Amino acid sequence: MHEGVNTGPNGGEREFEVGKDEAWFANIKRTYDEYQQESLTTIRRSRDYISKVLSDEGQNDNVRQNIANQALQNAVETANLVGKQAVAHRDIAIDRIWNVDEVSALTAKSGVQADTIQAIVAAAVAAALASKK
């Protein structure tokens, strides 16, 4: 065998340079390392993106929860105000029932007397009944 000559699988001689196989494997390793680095970079970017999306979603959920709480507080406050208004109206109505003199004073100020209206309606009804006979 000559120096620098290798025997191939079929018994034939094959010439190679010293270090060629090492360079080939180094190239394969470098290619693998580059591919691995790209994969890891992609994974890291994906993780960063997912973390940001989840963080943003958490913030948006907090904002939504605050809005829901404010809406609930507004609804309760509105219900309280409606209840207070109903009580006020009931008190005014009861006051008018028991204080008839105030009602008469109001009708006197307006120039329309309840007794006069009642008399006019009664006369109109009587006239309508009399005309039908």
pLDDT of residue 7: 54
Q: Give the pLDDT confidence score for residue 2 in this predicted structure.
A: 47
3-class state of residue 5 by DSSP: strand
- The residues, any chain, with a CB within 8 Å of residue 13's CB and separated by 6 or more, are 1, 2, 5, 6, 7
Domain boundaries, the chain: 16-98
Block means of pLDDT (10 residues each) for the chain, 133 residues, are 50 58 84 82 89 89 90 90 77 63 58 66 84 73
pLDDT value of position 32: 84
Q: What is the pLDDT of residue 1?
A: 44
pLDDT of residue 100: 56
pTM above 0.85, yes or no: no
DSSP 65-128: HHHHHHHHHHHHHHHHHHHHHHHHHHHHHHHHHH-HHHHHHHHHHHT--HHHHHHHHHHHHHHH
pLDDT at 69: 92
pLDDT for 73 equals 92
Predicted pLDDT at 133: 64
